[in-house]
Homo-oligomer: A and B are copies of this chain.
Amino acid sequence: MTNEQQSIRVNLCSSGKEKPQADQLAFGRSFTDHMFVMDYTEDEGWHEARIVPYAPLMIDPSAMVFHYSQSVFEGLKAYLNDDGEAQLFRPQRNFKRMNHSNDRLCIPPIDETFALKAVKQLVSIDKDWIPQAEGTSLYIRPFIISTEPFIGVAPSRHYQFMIILSPVGAYYEEGINPIKIAVENDYVRTVKGGTGEAKTGGNYAASLKAQEMAEEGIAQVLWLDGVERRYVEEVGSMNIFFKINGQVITPALNGSILDGVTRNSVIRLLQHWNVPVEERKISMDEIYQAYQEGTLEEAFGAGTAAVISPIGQLVWQEHMEINDGQTGAIAKSLYDTLTAIQYGKIPDPFNWIEKVDDIGENTLKATN
């Protein structure tokens, strides 16, 4: 399906909302002036692409998304570089993954090139909302919901593809400071043959209870595989890495782990630096043994929201303190390099950055 020739109708709001103060940026609580919307019907395919003022949806109570959660989403960010340009980090991977999720959830594929064009145009229009303070950015949330008014269990025949934007600060209150993670032994996020590889709401709904039951001070739980309950899978909103005896290890993509953009970038950076890195099965027994032998040198999470989150304490059998509870050298280098590339402060040897052209506001207003 190709929407490339399709144009995006733009309807600007008459007056913008007040923007949050730089020091009061929470994650995902305020949204910009505009949003992108596109509809799907069986007859017309994806159609009626539009950028309109951010506003509530009118949606039937029988819409399938409320009952059977047929939905997918993505998360990426726009950063402001020192020249005042907006730039995206590997956005093509997000839309490729969205189509992978769509396939698993029986949602019709989107045109990835067109989706990228839509993101760029929306970010350009709301560019004033990209915060400037260090560590802040504009979080971009593309998502698709099933909107057919029908309460039988079947794939929906109507969908809405939307993109909303939220100026954000640090994801964890701890920022780049080390967080505490507990291994989850009772609840399971997903299993091979399930939806773990897809970015779909049900995986996250399933994850809430474990977090609620976790002890005070636990930032996230670490999921084990659903079959043997031995192998590490991922953390709530991040992939996970361990450095053992000089080698970095991350769980291999096995069908139940999310193929993270930051995960992939970390692996490529480590390879570029000639740091040994392996994608493979890794059990909690192996990690615990390394801890006891003193070879568990670092642990960190990697994800779009938090970039790199060092893990200072990992709870399993006991409270394992890793690297004296301090941010490790590898985690620090990765964080510094990834954010420097994202904010355009250093060269981008991998061509990861996709710049957002300014759209003259006057041009837009003229067509409005």
Chain B residues whose CB sits within 8 angstroms of the CB of A66 once the complex forms: 65, 71, 143, 145, 201
Question: CB distance B154 to A211 under 8 Å?
Answer: yes
Chain B residues whose CB sits within 8 angstroms of the CB of A69 once the complex forms: 69, 71, 200-202, 204-205
Decide: A212 near B106, CB < 8 A? Known: A58-B57, A201-B67. Answer: yes
Q: Is A134's CB within 8 Å of the partner chain B?
A: no
Chain B residues whose CB sits within 8 angstroms of the CB of A151 once the complex forms: 27-28, 139, 141, 164, 166
Q: Is A91's CB within 8 Å of the partner chain B?
A: no
Give the number of times this chain occurs in the complex, counting copies: 2
Question: CB distance B61 to A150 under 8 Å?
Answer: no
A188-196, A241-249, A292-300: which lies at the B interface? A188-196
Report the contact-size class of chain A (Cβ under 8 Å from the partner).
35 or more
Question: CB distance A193 to B204 under 8 Å?
Answer: no
**Hey, which bits of chain A sit against chain B, CB under 8 A?**
27-29, 31, 35, 54, 56-62, 65-71, 73, 104-106, 139, 141, 143, 145, 149-155, 162, 164, 166, 171, 186-195, 200-209, 211-212, 226-227, 229, 236-237
Q: Closest approach, in angstroms, between the C-beta of A216 and any C-beta of chain B?
A: 15
Of all chain B residues, the one with the shortest Cβ separation from A103 is B209
Please classify the interface of chain A as helix (H, G, I), strand (E, B), loop, or mixed, using the class held by over half of its residues. loop
Closest 3 CB pairs of A and B: A202-B202, A69-B201, A188-B193
Chain B residues whose CB sits within 8 angstroms of the CB of A56 once the complex forms: 58-61
Decide: A152 near B28, CB < 8 A? Known: A56-B59, A61-B162, A143-B66. Answer: yes
Question: CB distance A57 to B65 under 8 Å?
Answer: no
Contacts A54-B61, A190-B191 aside, 5 further interface pairs with beta carbons under 8 A come to A27-B152, A66-B143, A154-B211, A189-B194, A190-B194
